[in-house]
Amino acid sequence: MLTRSDDLEILLSVIDSGGFSAAADALDIQVARVSRAVSKVEKQLGVTILNRTTRRIDLTDEGRQFIESVRVGLLHIRQAEAQLISRGELPAGRLRIDAASPFVFHQLVPLIQPFKKVFPDIQLELTSNEGFVDLLEKRTDLAIRIGKLTDSTLHARPLGKSLLYMVASPEYLATRGVPKKVSDLSGHNLIGFTGSKVLNRWPLAGIDYIEPSLTASSGETVRQLTLAGNGIACLSGFMVNEDIAAGRLVAVLEQGKLTNTDREQINAVFYKSSSVARRISAFIDFIQPRLSL
């Protein structure tokens, strides 16, 4: 029989995934088991937590207050479990890590196999989000954040700085010409980001934000568009250093480029009271000297 904490974990999965079937898929259990767990919690509490329709589920007012407390309570349970596991010589247990897709692709993926050889008992879970995630809500232990930090409740460890580059493919520059000064950008196709205005602030004196003619929500998509000759983009070195070295992309306007901007900062963030501190420290200590920012 499921324990109460297991039932609550299933309930959270239903809420976070948006439905009973999605939760069952995420947890690799039967939908009937998910339904039983939710009904069991509601019966024990004597309140309705979820309003169910054929198309969606919604939290009741009582359910919303309850779930906020559940997230904190389950975090404490996981912390207690982790403390027992961490008494061994090497850190062990699950470590959930979130980072923007380009950072995962270009920086973390090449380091996973060597990390696992050193720490075989740490079970990594990687997620990719283009925006900042709520660590508690998404049950994330560690997030890699690019840009200026604003959440003072999180503990941060700087990983370094990654310079920004205005880049274009050699084919595009051969056709459209190489911009020599900022004003020349008005005659070029500029590739930018959807939704986040700060990502369209290029490190150039005299302009606040560029007006892109082509946008994408993912940095990796912007990189691929640039490689395919669609225009000029501003991307972090951790994404394009190898492209520049191999000649696939060419850096432009280097002479007028500003440095020490907010977008260059890269930090690992986590909660100060987290009981997975040994796993977090092991991961950060391993990747930091191996990053190619």
Helix boundaries (H) for the chain: 4-17, 20-27, 31-45, 61-85, 101-103, 109-118, 170-176, 219-227, 237-246, 277-287
- Same topology for domains 93-160+264-290 and 164-258, yes or no? yes
Task: Tell me what the pLDDT averaged over the chain comes to.
Answer: 84
pLDDT digit string, tens, across residues 9-59: 888 888 877 788 888 887 888 888 888 888 888 888 888 888 876 667 888
Q: Please name the helix (run of DSSP H) or strand (run of DSSP E) that holds residue 142, with its range, or none.
A: strand 142-146
pLDDT higher than 90, residue 185 = yes
Q: Which CATH architecture fits 4-85? A: Orthogonal Bundle (1.10)
Please compute the mean of the pLDDT values over residues 108-132 and round it to a whole number: 87
pLDDT band at 3 (very low <50, low <70, confident <90, very high): very low
> Which of 14-23, 74-83, 189-198, 243-252 is the most confident on average?
243-252
Domain boundaries, the chain: 4-85, 93-160+264-290, 164-258
Say which amino acid occupies 201: R
Q: Name residue 155's beta-bridge partners.
A: 270
Q: Is residue 78 pLDDT above 80, yes or no?
A: no
Block residue for tokens 């560690």: 142
pLDDT tens digit string along 170-180?
999 999 999 99
What's the pLDDT tens digit per position in 130-167?
Answer: 666 556 556 778 888 888 777 667 778 888 899 999 99
229 or 145, higher pLDDT: 229
Question: CA 159, CA 270: separation in Å to the nearest integer?
Answer: 13
Q: What pLDDT is recorded for position 244?
A: 95
What fold, for 164-258?
D-Maltodextrin-Binding Protein; domain 2 (3.40.190)
Strands 265-271 and 142-146: antiparallel
What confidence score (pLDDT) does residue 279 get? 87
Residue that wins the pLDDT comparison between 131 and 230: 230
CA distance 62 to 247: 59
Going by pLDDT thresholds of 50, 70 and 90, the confidence category of residue 234 is very high
CATH class held by domain 93-160+264-290: alpha beta
Checking if the pLDDT of 1 tops 80, the result is: no
SS (H, E, C) 248-286: CCEEECCCCECCCCHHHEEEEEEECCCCCHHHHHHHHHH
Could you report the per-residue pLDDT of 188-202, keeping only the tens digit for each? Answer: 999 999 977 888 999
pLDDT at 74 over 70: yes
